[in-house]
Each structure stands twice: as structure tokens, then as C-alpha cells.
Amino acid sequence: LLSLDCAQVERRPTRLTVAAEGQYGEAINTDYGCDGERLSAEHHRNVGGGLAARYEMRDGFLAGATVRALHAVLTSVREYEPGAGDDVDDSPYALIGGGFFVGYDLKYFGGEAGVSFSGIIGLDDGIVMPYAQLRAGDLDRFWGEATFGTYDPLSWLSIGSLGVGLRGDQGLRLRAGLTFYGKVMQNVSFEGDGSLSKNITTGTNNDGFDFGTYAEAEYSPTSSFGLTGGVLLSEAPTLRLGISYTFGGD
């Protein structure tokens, strides 16, 4: 049997990377009737930022966390049926969210697990989602990954994804793949007595979850300072850009 020492990752130094990122995103929530027909579609936009941290040890242990806050607002409503989009509220709202994970990488297999939470300031409810990722390949260079859930819910609320990852020199780390996702957003409706009801929801444009392509990157042209970014290409895109600082890594 291959010993644990022989199967550990080889080139990875112990380091902590902290990133501050700005973010722009869009979200769509479509209401459907009993027969599957579209009734109305709300289009929301959000802007904000947050912090992300990732800690890696030479022996393969790793951990990470995110926290983000976004200012969001309804920008347009499309009615497929007359009056279907009347119960809307275009006042801005604030999203908060974050999560964490812990994991371990051997040389050819690795994984991590965690949990995330997202909510709207002023509302009592929220969304809690577990997170798990399995990786296989040469984890110091190139690998494939399967992911369920997310620890970064305000970027996009990934339900499941398949992708690949790449490591290189100067802290280069790339990930890309396909994902089924939703977007955290506010849902507004009128009760029978005419009162306004607000709650948090997972907005999608389709009757289920939406489909998109994601990519994330980290690069450190110096030993300490670097650049980070992420993008979701879909009907409701997201773009993140930021700077990072790495402690250790020698």
C-alpha cells in the first residue's frame, strides 16, 4: 500500500491568502403558472464586495471562508400575462452571505466540505446550504472536480457543477467548468388582505435551476501581492475582481 507520506502533495507551500474583491451581478426570477407557462420575470442587479481567505498547509490540509455584502435593486419586470407582474417592489435591499470549508489534499485525491448562509437585512429568513467538493488528478498541477452546493452563496448559488483545475508557478490557480445554479434575491408578493410580503428566494429564469459556465483565477506576480477574479457566464452573469495578499508561501 502507498503510504500517506508518499501520497501527499509535493510542491505546495504553507500559506494564507486573503483577497478583497468587488462584485457586479444580475439575477432573474421567473414566475410560472400551473401548466408551466411563464407569467412574469423580474430582473435584479446587485453590486458590492467582500473578503475571501484560503489557508493551505504543506501536508495537504486546507481551509477557507468568504463573507460578502451586496446592494441590490429590481430594475425591470417583463409581463407574459397581463397583470402578472403587478406585485413588485423596486426599493433597494441589502444581501449578506458567507461560508467556510475545511479539507485535505493527497497527491491524487482531495476533498473539502463546509456550509454557507445568505440572507437579506431586515428579513428573518435565510438560506443555509451545505458544500462539498471532490477532486481527482495530480492536485499539484491538473485535476477534475465535482461540486455540490457552495461556500460563497452571493457569487452564485451553485447547486452542482463539474469542472477542471490547474496550478502553476507564482501562485497561479485556475478553475473552470459547468454549473447548475440559482441567485439569492428578494421575492415580493401581496397577501390576500393587500399587505406586502417579502422573503428571500433562489431566483432562476427557468422552471428549475439555470445553467452556466464559471471560471475563477488567482495569480501572484510578486511573492505577496496578487490578483483574483471570478465570472459566471449565463443569463444572469456575475463578475468579481480583486487583489490579494499572501502570508508565507516560501
| Per-residue confidence in pLDDT tens, the chain, 250 aa | 445 445 555 557 899 999 999 999 999 888 777 766 677 788 999 999 999 999 999 989 999 999 999 999 988 877 665 554 555 667 899 999 999 999 999 999 999 999 999 999 999 889 999 999 999 999 989 999 999 999 999 999 999 999 999 998 877 899 999 999 999 998 877 666 656 678 898 888 776 789 999 999 999 888 899 999 999 999 999 999 999 999 986 6
Q: Which domains does the chain have, with CATH numbers?
A: 15-248 (2.40.160.40)
DSSP letter for each residue of 185-229: EEEEEE-TTS-EEEEEEEE-SSSS-EEEEEEEEEE-SSSSEEEEE
What pLDDT does 25 receive?
Answer: 96
pTM for this model (two decimals): 0.86
Q: Dig out the grid coordinates for 115 from the structure.
A: 456550509
What pLDDT does 7 receive?
Answer: 58
Segments of 80-209 assigned E as strands: 93-105, 109-120, 126-138, 142-149, 157-167, 173-190, 196-203
